[in-house]
Amino acid sequence: MALIETERLTRLYRLGAETVQALADVTLSIGEGEFVAVMGPSGSGKSTFMNVIGCLDRPTSGSYRLEGETVSALGGDALAAIRNRKMGFVFQQFHLLDRLDAFGNVELPLIYAGMDRARRGERAAAALRRVGLGERMHHRPTQLSGGQQQRVAIARAIVNGPKVLLADEPTGALDSRTSIEIMALFQQLNRDGTTVLVVTHEADVARYASRVIRFLDGRVQGDARQAPTDAAADLAALRRAPAPEPAGAAPCG
């Protein structure tokens, strides 16, 4: 049994009088522990795919099973619980709450899980240490660099021990070096057992994945496994190279 199984997954949008087919008959299976890059041009349906897999959106038809459970039949509260316990989201724009510090942002999913304060504190601190921000727990997002903000977002995504980490263009707002750092972090989390889905249109990002699924016009156009590039090795190479340090990308962790 695969972790994620979709069968003829279809998602239609009504745009005025027109009906747009964002997903058309997508039948896929993703196993536990995979590192998948979902690629495709704008409007190819890759983001819709991620939203449906992440239980933020529901398919118009077809079925989606997560760990054998038919998720497409569940109600709103059950989907919220799945998002809370089994999914972790990372977004291009980080989506951190500016009025909370890093710790407060990471704590958020645990609050909705109904966890008590003491346990929340331990879990949030552990997650922040895991992304290398143990020293910056009480910095606000505005006091952190872009890479650090994305690390806070990743800590928030993994704090509840999710099955699947879903990242939508996670490096889209970052410079190339920081991007590699973030990808190295994803690879690390993947090695520790989390299934990772990264939506991207950059080949540079996709090469760190072990499987690349390509979308075009809502359909799966290609699905190939590959030997992933080691992001940590790329970083080490960058450090050896005499290239100037990109601004705002201080290595942390």
Residues near other proteins (CB under 8 A): 51, 54, 56-57, 76-77, 80-81, 83-85, 89, 91, 95, 97, 99-100, 108-109, 111-114, 156, 160
Q: Whole-angstrom Cα distance, residue 50 to residue 199? A: 7
Assess contact for 223 and 213: CB atoms under 8 A: yes
- In this structure, the number of other CB atoms found within 10 A of the CB of residue 104 comes to 18
Query: Exposed, middle or buried by CB within 10 Å (0-12, 13-18, 19+), for 21?
Result: middle
Identify which of residues 18 and 77 has a Cβ nearer to other proteins in the complex: 77
Q: How far is the CB of 226 from other proteins (least distance, A)?
A: 29
C-beta of 86 vs 214, nearer to other proteins: 86
* 62 contact partners, CB below 8 Å, separation of at least 6: 6, 7, 8, 9, 10, 25, 26, 72
To other proteins, the closest distance from the beta carbon of 15 in angstroms equals 13
User: Which is nearer to other proteins, 23 or 180 (by Cβ)?
Assistant: 23
Kindly state the smallest distance separating residue 14's Cβ from other proteins, in Å: 13
Q: Minimum Å distance from CB 22 to other proteins?
A: 11
CB 185 within 8 A of CB 154: yes
Q: Which two tokens stand for residue 73?
A: 């039949």
Q: What are phi and psi of 31, to 5 degrees?
A: -90, 165
The smaller minimum CB distance to other proteins, of residues 170 and 228, is found at 170
Name the residue nearer to other proteins (CB basis): 73 or 97. 97
- Residue 67: CB minimum distance to other proteins, A: 17
